[in-house]
Chain A
């Protein structure tokens, strides 16, 4: 399996990166401890190149790069990274089949 990134998400990453002062080397996504139900998602710019052990998802001829550490990859495998706009807000979301439950706020997950 793999991690899918939707076109909307790629466009959103590219647009957000363009607004940033320092062009990021990539977007780091992953799973971290914390949150009310055990795990939470990580979304942050990486100013450093991908680490040797990272999985790198490259789009738009290498202009958009998503870094995933191998540990997080195991949890995110099979998921889709999407960008959604609702009336209230817009942002990234994971469509993750491995998730057993999410908390009320949706910010933390259990596998």
Chain B
């Protein structure tokens, strides 16, 4: 009787998720214009600030002396060193040299010559002495936020959630992930910006609904339509204008101010004056969010300044034509999602420019309802990311269920067409599993790995995901090779399978997206089938396993009979062959217990023969050797 382990009852989730609990996890909004970091403290998400506030301008300056500045200092340097100061690096994430070429006319940056099939664009900075990738530039920004967070939390970060626009493709997402890693952070998940905003408003706690997220930032406008179902947000459609934002408002106001000063719209080519007027325009616009009238002061030259009044109504008239450009993308996004504005459950405002009363009125008119805007629109995305990070880190908000899980179990095909599951259905991602396998036949020099998905016990009833081979293994006796197979599902649901033969170090791996081409109905059907066929499947599995064992023993016996016929006693061959025939018959049947019994019977019938073979083999290895040598060999002394 084998020992029975005694089990204790575990808390929900602990038994299935062996991921270590994480303590310090933050959310980062890596924006085109500004970036922020937030953390959940005592159940409340808060943005972490430095002396100048929560917003860190997403600007990086690489000086000729090799120093790197990030944030406000870098933005100031932009005036004197525009080519060495990368602003809005986000536009270049995951982009190739050809894409950069297209924007060459629009940006002051210099790009390094791409070395043939170079996949990423490289900026030439620090006076042309250094090349950096967009990932490296983003990593500089992330590093500053990391330092800020670690100072505030008093220790190393365990993980981060970084937000990305909903329309980012795989390459852009991977680039963002790489930037996080370069900055020395563990990116637990990338979260869509509109989803983060919805989380910050706690919309995930609603039963269901459709939401529009209106994100008017400094330099970009994004509109996303989200559908909430069962605590999970799905992006239905996206739209926007990558060259429309608060900066355009500032430019419109600045042009007006210059006209008032009697100067041409390009400030007569005076870059410093142009910058000064733009800053004044921004300050006035921000002031007029609250006040009805403001006084604008611009320094024309040292000791000489211009001053004049500006009313909110004037600014609104200037901004209006720019704002109107948002209407087109909004209508298109609604149409793509197949929705009328009245069908939406809510509209969320994101981005600093949405603070302006005129923007709020415009959105209210466009959607026919008052938008949600009581959370600071600059911070809302970072706050949502922090909530998600806290959740992933096991922050214990048991009122929110927003977890991605493996929809169907993932496993490997074993001998006999049996499925061996490595990762079970409903395991929360990211997750992983390792299992060691061995060779079935003597001198097997490779493994065919067949990755399958599904709940059924037999491979034939599961979905095939991928096949790959691990070859080049030297011939060994069956069972001697040790193949370690590792399954990892990352937060984005990508499955990586790697196999390594431990004796030889041979490796092979593959990556697949298990959810590819798999609809909800399909998942539902596969799960239902597994319940309906649970009994049959168990039987089929047991039978398949016994058949594999039967084949193994039949082959071994056949080989032994051929090799050592001289060792057979009279009548023994007949007995063994009768056992083999009986096993063959049982094997063809469907009763796994009969197969098991026949295996045992054949084992019994051939036991003496096997023992004699063993003695002979042993005798051969020690023949002609002195007794003490043999003793040494056997005892290993």
Interface flag for B535 (CB, 8 Å): yes
Do A45 and B11 contact each other (CB < 8 Å), given the known contacts A33-B424, A101-B2? yes
Contact of B531 among A34, A71, A84, A89 (CB under 8 A): A71
When distances are taken between beta carbons in the complex, the residues of chain A under 8 Å from B9 are: 13, 16, 27, 43-45, 92
Residues A44 and B2 in contact in the complex (CB < 8 Å), given A33-B424, A74-B537, A75-B538: no
Provide the residues of chain A in CB contact with B7, threshold 8 Å: 41, 43, 91-93
Whether the Cβ atoms of B424 and A32 lie closer than 8 Å is yes
Of residues 71 to 111 in A, which have CB atoms within 8 Å of B's CB atoms? 71, 73-75, 84, 86, 89-95, 101-102, 104-107, 111
Number of interface residues of A (CB under 8 A): 38
A4 at the interface (CB under 8 A from B): no
Residues of A within 8 A of B541 (CB): 111
Q: How large, as a class, is the contact surface on chain B?
A: 20 to 34
Contact with B along A38-52 (1 / 0, CB 8 A): 100111111110000
CA distance in complex: A53, B455 (Å): 14
The chain B residue sitting closest to A44, CB to CB, is: B10
Q: A106-B3, A107-B5 known; A42 and B15 CB under 8 Å?
A: yes
User: Which chain B residues lie closer than 8 Å to A28 at the CB level?
Assistant: 12
User: With a CB–CB cut-off of 8 A, which chain A residues contact B12?
Assistant: 28, 44-48
Chain B residues whose CB sits within 8 angstroms of the CB of A92 once the complex forms:
6-9
Q: Which residues of B contact A94 (CB under 8 A)?
A: 4
Least CB distance, A24 to chain B, in whole angstroms: 8
- A27-B9, A34-B433, A93-B5 known; A44 and B538 CB under 8 Å? no
Q: Which residue of B lies closest to A72 (CB)?
A: B534
- Beta-carbon contact of A53 and B2 below 8 Å: no
Q: In the complex, what's the smallest C-beta–C-beta distance from B521 to chain A, in angstroms?
A: 17
Q: Is A70 an interface residue (CB 8 A)?
A: yes
Instruction: Give bound CA distance, A84 to B6, whole Å.
Output: 7
Q: B527: shortest Cβ distance to chain A, in Å?
A: 8
B14 cross-chain contacts in A, Cβ below 8 A: 44
Give chain B nearest CB distance to A62 CB in angstroms. Answer: 19
Cα distance A101–B1 when bound, in Å? Answer: 10
What residues of B have a CB within 8 angstroms of the CB of A34 in the complex?
433
Residues of A within 8 A of B538 (CB): 74-75, 111
Closest Cβ of chain B to A104, distance in Å, is 8
By beta carbon, the residue of chain A nearest B10 is A44
User: Contact between A33 and B433 (Cβ–Cβ < 8 Å)?
Assistant: yes
Shortest Cβ distance from A108 into B: residue? B5
Chain A residues positioned under 8 Å from B421 (CB to CB): 33
Fill in one digit per residue for B125-159: 1 if any A CB lies within 8 Å of its CB, else 0: 00000000000000000000000000000000000
Interface residues of B in 414-466 (CB under 8 A from A): 420-424, 433, 455
List chain B residues, Cβ under 8 A from A13: 9
Expressed in whole angstroms, the minimum distance between the Cβ of B106 and any Cβ of chain A is: 53
- Could you list 12 further interchain pairs (A-B, Cβ under 8 angstroms) beyond the known A44-B12, A45-B9, A102-B3? A33-B422, A43-B10, A44-B14, A70-B534, A91-B7, A92-B7, A92-B8, A94-B4, A95-B4, A106-B2, A106-B4, A107-B5
Chosen A-B contacts, 17 in total, with CB atoms closer than 8 Å, are A28-B12, A32-B15, A33-B409, A33-B421, A33-B423, A42-B15, A44-B14, A45-B9, A71-B455, A71-B531, A71-B534, A73-B534, A74-B535, A90-B6, A91-B8, A92-B6, A93-B4
Counting from the closest, the 8 A-B pairs by CB-CB distance are A91-B6, A106-B5, A74-B534, A44-B10, A102-B2, A93-B4, A70-B531, A106-B3
